[in-house]
Amino acid sequence: MNATLEHLLSLGQPIYCGAPTQPLVALTFDDGPGILTPLALHQLRAHDAPATFFLVGKLLEESAFVDTAQREASMGMAFGDHTWDHVMMTGRSQPSFDGEIARTRRAVERVTHRPVNLFRPPYGRHDAALDAYVRQQGMLEILWTIDSEDSQGANADRIYRTVRKTLSAGDIVLLHDNRGTTESALPRILDLIAERGLTPVTVPELLTQDPPTDRQVRRHTCG
């Protein structure tokens, strides 16, 4: 972890966005790898767009999904920890954190040969105990500025419109690569990013090249 990310970690707060002073956005994909992930990778490659994938640990017990994660790594994608079983992590204790978070981190690093310094809580739900554990593990807790609503049953048009409504520099966009509606909307989202003069980057790239200020982090504000 570089000095900029270490400083953000020291603030002890979840991260929602970049500054934003540079024309950068970060697309993030939760809940994979899955059978539809290769479709997302195809579109990302076609648009020369890196992204960040928050992986569910138990899925890496399946050889096909191991191959998918390794393909993501070969394409230069970044990775985050999204727990072993994708369960709500509030109200839990250290043994549960170890089994859900530390176990997943080890699995993702073993499969991808990439460091995992990012964590995203399922459903975006977190509490003080979870925040403290993640920080003690040296991981940044990453939330988002735009929820595409794909996990709430939105169709492809609605997903696209939701992103289009507020997309701007510094955004972290929440998507899920295991949904056909998301895969249908993704080409338009990538085109939209280009039309607005923005460049897609991974979350570590966004936070390194255009980190939020201490004030933004402490107040959970963007822009």
Chain CA centroid to CA 84, Å = 16
- Checking if the pLDDT of 223 tops 90, the result is no
- Checking if the pLDDT of 136 tops 90, the result is yes
CATH 3.50.50.60 fits 3-218, yes or no: no
Tell me what pLDDT residue 143 has: 98
- Average pLDDT estimate for 5-33: 96
From first CA to last CA, the distance across the chain in angstroms is 25
89-109 b/e (C-beta count within 10 Å ≥ 16 → b): beebeeebbeebbbbbbebbe
pLDDT band, very low/low/confident/very high, at 28 (cuts 50, 70, 90): very high
Q: What are residue 116's phi and psi, to 5 degrees?
A: -115, 105
- pLDDT higher for 211 or 221? 211
Tell me what pLDDT residue 1 has: 86
- Checking if the pLDDT of 24 tops 80, the result is yes
Chain CA centroid to CA 6, Å = 18
Average pLDDT, the chain: 96
Question: pLDDT tens-digit profile of 153-207?
Answer: 999 999 999 999 999 999 999 999 999 999 999 999 999 999 999 999 999 999 9
Residue 180 backbone class (left: φ over 0; alpha: ψ -120 to 50; beta: rest): alpha
Domain boundaries, the chain: 3-218
Tell me what pLDDT residue 221 has: 87
Q: Rounded to an integer, what distance in angstroms lies between the CA atom of residue 6 and that of residue 61?
A: 31
pLDDT band, very low/low/confident/very high, at 47 (cuts 50, 70, 90): very high
The token duo for 69 is 């994660």
